[in-house]
Amino acid sequence: MTIAQRLYLLIGMAFLGLAAIAGLGVIQINKVYEAANYANVNTVPSLTDLNNAAVTITKLRVMTYRYVTAKDPNKRRDLEIGMIDRYKKITEMFNLYEKQDLSDDKDKALLENDRIAFKAFGVMQEQVIGLMKQDKADEALDVLFKSVTGVVKSMDIALEEHAKYNADLGKKGADDGAAALKHANMMALTIALLTVLVVITLGVFITRKIVGSLNEAIEISETVAAGDLTRDIIVTSNDETGRLLRALKAMSDSLKNIVGEVRTGTEQITAASTEIATGNLDLSSRTEEQASSLEETASAMEELTSTVKQNADNAR
């Protein structure tokens, strides 16, 4: 793997780590939002609708009591119409809750308990209305009072249990949001630490590799510059630093060949110079011999000249 590829790998690891942190952050933020927002989109509307139903039921109970105690037939008739209308309205509230606010099967079962309790209240209400139409106000009032510890209490308990379950769901949503946030923080911290660890490890490895190879190349260059060509250069990688060392090795080998050729040429020149020097000495010796012969010849010539002159003088 080349240095460039290692650096690209380092950059890629850093990018993947950041991308993982960002992706995890988005996912966990959505989970936290969903968990925290559960109270807004489900718990609060559910509790609000149940509370409205409970308030309307309370008003219906008051209206029923006023209906039993009313003396004016016209007012009693108006109250009866209002009671029937309220009963229908509460039924519609339960239907709307089933359509918009149900969370799970248990929530549906609690709603069914609400309906059963309210239906029992409706039976009691019809019984009261029937007794009042028979002018049996005392019996109707007695049925109404008995319902407080029977039908009405069961209905209150059903609504309270239902509201408590929704409140518990809201609390669970908040707890889930807090847990999701904690998990997101832990995951983000873990990924960040792993990314930093990998990046630092790769960075240190690449730095040591580059610095070590460059230092070796510098040392080889200084050795060659000092004239030492005996250094054995070993190449162990194919990356950029390996190519640099291989080039230095080729340069050192070339210099060795050049120095060897120069040494051979120098030895040949030395041998030729020795031969030339020997020839010069031989030539010098012969020249000296010839000079000595010339001197002897000159001396003889002088003697011959002297003799000829003497002979000339004698002849004269």
Residue that is written with structure tokens 């030395």 in the block? 270
pLDDT at residue 246, as a whole number: 76
CA distance 68 to 127: 11
Task: Quote the radius of gyration of the chain (alpha carbons, Å).
Answer: 60
pLDDT at residue 235, as a whole number: 67
Residues near 31 by beta carbon (within 8 Å), at least 6 away in sequence = 177, 180, 184
Kindly write down the DSSP assignment for every residue of 29-73, as one continuous string: HHHHHHHHHHIIIIIHHHHHHHHHHHHHHHHHHHHHHHHHH---H
Which amino acid appears at position 260 of this protein? G
CA distance 266 to 258: 12
The pTM score is: 0.53
Q: What is the pLDDT of residues 91-121, one digit of tens each?
A: 999 999 888 888 889 989 999 999 999 899 8
Q: Which long-range contacts (CB under 8 A, 24 or more apart) does 295-304 make?
A: none
Kindly write down the DSSP assignment for every residue of 81-138, as one continuous string: HHHHHHHHHHHHHHHHHHHHT--SHHHHHHHHHHHHHHHHHHHHHHHHHHHHHTT-HH
pLDDT > 70 fraction of the chain, expressed in percent and rounded = 86
More confident residue, 82 or 246: 82
Judged against a pLDDT cut of 70, whether residue 214 lies above it is answered with yes
Q: What is the pLDDT of residues 296-310, one digit of tens each?
A: 777 777 777 778 788
Tokens at 163, concatenated:
């509201």
More confident residue, 125 or 295: 125
Residues near 286 by beta carbon (within 8 Å), at least 6 away in sequence = none
Which amino acid appears at position 43 of this protein? T
Question: Can you tell me whether residue 229 is helix, strand or coil?
Answer: coil
Q: How far is CA 87 from CA 35, 47, 48, 91, 118, in A?
A: 35, 20, 18, 6, 9
CA distance 176 to 170: 10
Tokens at 302, concatenated:
């002088």
| C-alpha closest to that of 95 among 53, 124, 39, 63 | 53
282 alpha carbon, distance to own chain's centre:
91
| C-alpha closest to that of 144 among 52, 93, 81, 70 | 70
pLDDT at residue 109, as a whole number: 93
Asked whether 70 and 44 are in contact (CB, 8 A), the reply is no
Q: Please state, rounded to an integer, the average pLDDT across all residues of the chain.
A: 80
CA distance 48 to 299: 157
Which span out of 81-95, 135-149, 163-177, 245-259 was modeled with the highest average pLDDT? 81-95
* 2 pLDDT tier (thresholds 50, 70, 90): low
| C-alpha closest to that of 129 among 205, 76, 165 | 76
pLDDT at residue 92, as a whole number: 92
Q: What is the pLDDT of residues 43-94, one digit of tens each?
A: 778 888 888 888 998 888 888 888 888 888 888 889 889 888 988 999 999 9
pLDDT at residue 116, as a whole number: 92
